[in-house]
Structure 1
């Protein structure tokens, strides 16, 4: 229980007694790095005076116990009794997931015993400033678990000082080392008081130098403390000469700093944030801590196929996956399905290993680079054989599909709360085991989909009518269009009953909402490949937001995608329990079958009016069959996704029930903390009632460590969008992206970043969002246009936008950050550009023809590969 000990008494394992800063500096001293001599006032000393004190003022007035005071002054005397730097060193700072930079206090040029003891008191009190308490609260760190030590070091009277990062903090490049420097003490650089000299060193030792402005210089004052002097703009000379008042560092000093930085990073095994000083011809390392919020390393140049896969994955990943995602729905959900589909045709390493982890948390998205296996040579024959045996128009009659529906309904009906622990623990695997049959269905039926689309594309091109291709596919009836019709029906009930007024909802609307959620509630709110994001049934406020948007406007005009045919209330003949196969007869007034046109078939009529078809009844019949087959393929693609998502809510609820029981047992703080664990780790818990002591503490520590890392990465992108959507010359455009058709439209921007904000969209707004999925498409009825950071012309959102006839620009990369609410813009879905409306060359509203060539090619490609 030492109160004070020299720095070399500590190492990286002594966080609890020396704090983060003390432990790291002690590790450097032990490894012979040039660290100023010093000692640590340990957390034991803090604990002796901290009882009942939780404000800075409480510590400033405290009388130190005699043994604490004597231990500090004796160590100070051994250090020489001269000027010292006094730095806080909390047990929850300078960690891989929490830097706490600037949260606790530092005092420079402290002279004399009295001033030293006062500085120690103030460092202790800085643990309880408002900013430090708020920072811990944001990271979920319990105040009761935090202690603070104090590091005391001989003062270095720096001629030049600053900060060094052993990786580029902006680009994430691990081969570069970045140094910021200025005259005097490094406090001017750390506090952001100066524009520092900036050095970037590459792996070959090349230095890129940008001079700073040295607005301020901080130096030690006579008798203690520091003074701030006016800067010396001319001190940053270009000749590499360091004068007594400071200047550009000599090349040899920069090279030595680089060597030290790389050695420190290698010693700790990760990039470091290092404070340093140069005085009397020597370099000194004053602090070292892990770099936090460091972007992933640059990916380099991606090939076109990698960019396409990355665009799909980025659209599917609006947020960082949790460990439970990585051990359940990511490998076994839609991404795993796409991997299996491509693998069945001899394409390996597609949609696997695309998420890399650091400290057991997903760190970055690395686009996969698929490799062909020998089996790929047989792919054309496999496609033809499967297409001949499996007609997408009849996939719902497949026995495997009907067995799947029976199994999922049985699992959904089980009472999770009534299950004993061991039975509940088996439910996640049971939910995941339902997935392979749907993957097999995609493997068998997608070849027919791809060939039907390709056949129709070739036909319309030969006829010179390729611009009709996308419109010909719009007639496909899908479960997505069913959902949108059911939402409009729900909105009509809301209009009629006043359900959106304050107060309890009317019984008619409550019943309609319950029926809607029973049938469509498994739809994802944000991501189809994550289990941690809620479904509509788990977040009904998302549905209510959509209903509010739909109910605020007029009913859709006749012929629109949500009004064609009769309304689609839940419980219709295409409900999950009794799917309607293509070609089946339906009662009068019931919705048209899946794959059949649900509105006047203008595109088909225009195609059949072609001279080569108009004179031949047989050709007209053949083309009509081909259009119907292509529509059935589109419907299969959409509908198989709809049904494929049905196990996800059951899986999620079972995991949250496990988390609830772990919370009740005291092992977790909240049920959602289970998301920070892996399924295998949960399965190791044989009896939750017996989870006590070290086992429970180990579980809490694992959750806390991963939660801290996740919080650290909260501002770090999984991938730089510029790697997927390379910047292009925009001219006077605000944004460019993939043209997804729909002509042009002008309206005010409304940035919607998550489903909970759906209700913010007003009719006529330009919807700007980071991603979309089928859950977003009901908004398109009231949006003037849609602009999306991710996605391409063949994404679900682009297809539905074209059906609504609104302009869509996909894959802008930065739309949500460049555009702000209320800005009037013109969106051109045919050129993929967004202009300021005041400077746009054309500001016409309304719709135009879809980009048939790009759309058709993309749709056929996606259907053939199962990419969505």
Structure 2
């Protein structure tokens, strides 16, 4: 595995750059992530050869640092690798650029359990397409797959895109064209125009129709669940899962526009305002009114229904003065806004553009948080349905405990088959997959994904970090779950 970046290696170590990623097997280099095009295949092959020679010399795998100057490869240092991932094959089911943390993958930080993958995931994906058809007039199905238990998704293959787009245009009678133009393209350069043309209407539909409908469905389900038959429980899961899928589509398009708008604002600031004036574009999004700070009972660490909700875990807000912290964040934001306005005061046109970009970015930042907050509204009900369905095979002796239900498939829920050993083996396999270091992407990014990566790069904090700030990337893989609180200064402890 090779990570490469232009310039000094400090950019990667400090976290300022992600870097390209190459995998070399049997002298065949494959680029798995191309952000900077720092090296080519021949250079990756040469680096791998050096790594193998160093490993042979020391008699153990080594983590090496290297540099290329004037076409010459230099070995800088080598140290033993302290932890190696299990050898597994991450080949996707079909060619393309597969992403782990995109769409629903953002909500799945662990491998999927069998019942989620076989049942709830498919209902969510169905609802996602329903939402797409309602707003865009057509569907463009994204592929999804479990690779070593982990959720991955990919856009339609390059060869299928022309036919897919043509079908979408015909299916929607042209509606999909302005939708795609505004939701995917114009939002990156003229977000206020995309807001007026498409996004504002979608946001209104979410607040006035989709969210109230989702709430009514869950409230009705809560009243029925204790007396529901197994078939009625299954119908509740299907309905809640599909509605959550519709909601996810709205969140992806409306809430997902927020980071594109932030990227547009960040690019503007980098062009016209010195970084030391405002620090980071994130400083302009702190303490916005309308953002809830309390942890809701339906909050989850994963949308895989195996995991308990915040209400079940008894999570509570940390014992800190939330109001005082909010006031401090508001003051920081207002100071950053004032500094930017002062820096642009002599250029009225640029100042007006700043105000436009700031307003739309702040409005959608709040909208994104609000949409994300209510996405998992149905998860307490979904978990209760699954656990109640698990009582059937447990009563029949088919499984040992109710929570073993998450390691069954939908067809096995009847409880008439002896599946206790099957559930045990699947749980053990799931635990093994949890220990794997799943790559964020598999395959080479097409042009669209590379352009989106540029938007992400624009939002990164520029310039030197303040004195005393610790920056960097973890040296070894690891994972932790639980409530998170951002610490910005010693007084936040």
Greater per-residue strand proportion: 1
Identify the match of residue 776 of structure 1 among 479, 483, 489.
Answer: 483
TM-aligned CA deviation for residue 671 of structure 1? 0.3
Residues 519-563 of structure 1: CA deviation (Å, up to 9, x unaligned): x11101x22x312111101211xx15xx5xx33xx64684x3x45
**Corresponding residue for 1:101?**
none
Task: Give the secondary-structure state (helix, strand or coil) at the position aligned to 2:100.
Answer: helix
> Counterparts of 1:436 and 1:459 in 2: how far apart (Å)?
34
Identify the match of residue 111 of structure 2 among 311, 315, 320.
Answer: 320
> Counterparts of 1:536 and 1:602 in 2: how far apart (Å)?
35
Q: Which structure is larger by alpha-carbon Rg, 1 or 2? A: 1
> Counterparts of 1:458 and 1:663 in 2: how far apart (Å)?
57
**Corresponding residue for 2:394?**
663
Give the gaps of 5 or more residues in structure 2: 1-22, 28-54, 60-84, 184-193, 444-456
**Corresponding residue for 2:427?**
707
Identify the match of residue 402 of structure 1 among 212, 218, 222.
Answer: 212
**Corresponding residue for 2:336?**
603
Instruction: Please give the residue correspondences for 1:36-47 in structure 2 after superposition, counting only pairs within 5 Å.
Output: none
> Counterparts of 1:557 and 1:664 in 2: how far apart (Å)?
50
Alpha-carbon distance change, 395 to 423 in structure 1, aligned in 2, over 3 angstroms: closer
**Corresponding residue for 1:384?**
182
TM-aligned CA deviation for residue 345 of structure 1? 10
Residues 346-367 of structure 1: CA deviation (Å, up to 9, x unaligned): 99664x33313xxxxx545666
Residues 679-711 of structure 1: CA deviation (Å, up to 9, x unaligned): 3433xx3xxxxx6xxx342x3354244335445
Identify the match of residue 310 of structure 1 among 90, 100, 120.
Answer: 100
Task: Give the secondary-structure state (helix, strand or coil) at the position aligned to 1:409.
Answer: helix
TM-aligned CA deviation for residue 315 of structure 1? 6.1
**Corresponding residue for 1:295?**
87
Identify the match of residue 425 of structure 1 among 208, 219, 234.
Answer: 234
> Counterparts of 2:126 and 2:490 in 1: how far apart (Å)?
32
> Counterparts of 2:434 and 2:206 in 1: how far apart (Å)?
44
Residues 640-670 of structure 1: CA deviation (Å, up to 9, x unaligned): 2221111122111110111123322322210
Task: Give the secondary-structure state (helix, strand or coil) at the position aligned to 1:354.
Answer: strand
**Corresponding residue for 1:473?**
285
Alpha-carbon distance change, 678 to 315 in structure 1, aligned in 2, over 3 angstroms: same
> Counterparts of 2:332 and 2:219 in 1: how far apart (Å)?
32
TM-aligned CA deviation for residue 472 of structure 1? 2.0
Task: Give the secondary-structure state (helix, strand or coil) at the position aligned to 1:776.
Answer: coil
Alpha-carbon distance change, 381 to 334 in structure 1, aligned in 2, over 3 angstroms: same
Alpha-carbon distance change, 659 to 344 in structure 1, aligned in 2, over 3 angstroms: same
Find out whether 1:368 has 2:75 as its counterpart. Answer: no
TM-score (norm 1): 0.36
> Counterparts of 1:340 and 1:395 in 2: how far apart (Å)?
11
**Corresponding residue for 1:640?**
371
Identify the match of residue 522 of structure 1 among 281, 298, 302.
Answer: 298
RMSD: 5.2
> Counterparts of 1:338 and 1:461 in 2: how far apart (Å)?
38
Alpha-carbon distance change, 660 to 174 in structure 1, aligned in 2, over 3 angstroms: farther
Task: Give the secondary-structure state (helix, strand or coil) at the position aligned to 1:297.
Answer: coil
CA contact (8 A) 1:395 1:445 kept: no
TM-score (norm 2): 0.58
CA contact (8 A) 2:225 2:385 kept: yes
> Counterparts of 1:336 and 1:174 in 2: how far apart (Å)?
43
Aligned length: 372
Give the gaps of 5 or more residues in structure 1: 1-170, 176-208, 214-292, 357-361, 488-519, 566-596, 686-690, 725-737, 754-767, 786-803, 807-868
**Corresponding residue for 1:729?**
none
Task: Give the secondary-structure state (helix, strand or coil) at the position aligned to 2:305.
Answer: coil
> Counterparts of 1:623 and 1:427 in 2: how far apart (Å)?
47
Task: Give the secondary-structure state (helix, strand or coil) at the position aligned to 1:353.
Answer: strand
**Corresponding residue for 1:18?**
none
Task: Give the secondary-structure state (helix, strand or coil) at the position aligned to 1:719.
Answer: coil
> Counterparts of 1:740 and 1:619 in 2: how far apart (Å)?
22
CA contact (8 A) 1:324 1:674 kept: yes
Greater per-residue helix proportion: 2
Specify which structure has the bigger relative contact order, considering alpha-carbon pairs within 8 angstroms and separated by 6 or more residues: 2
**Corresponding residue for 1:44?**
none
CA contact (8 A) 1:320 1:718 kept: no
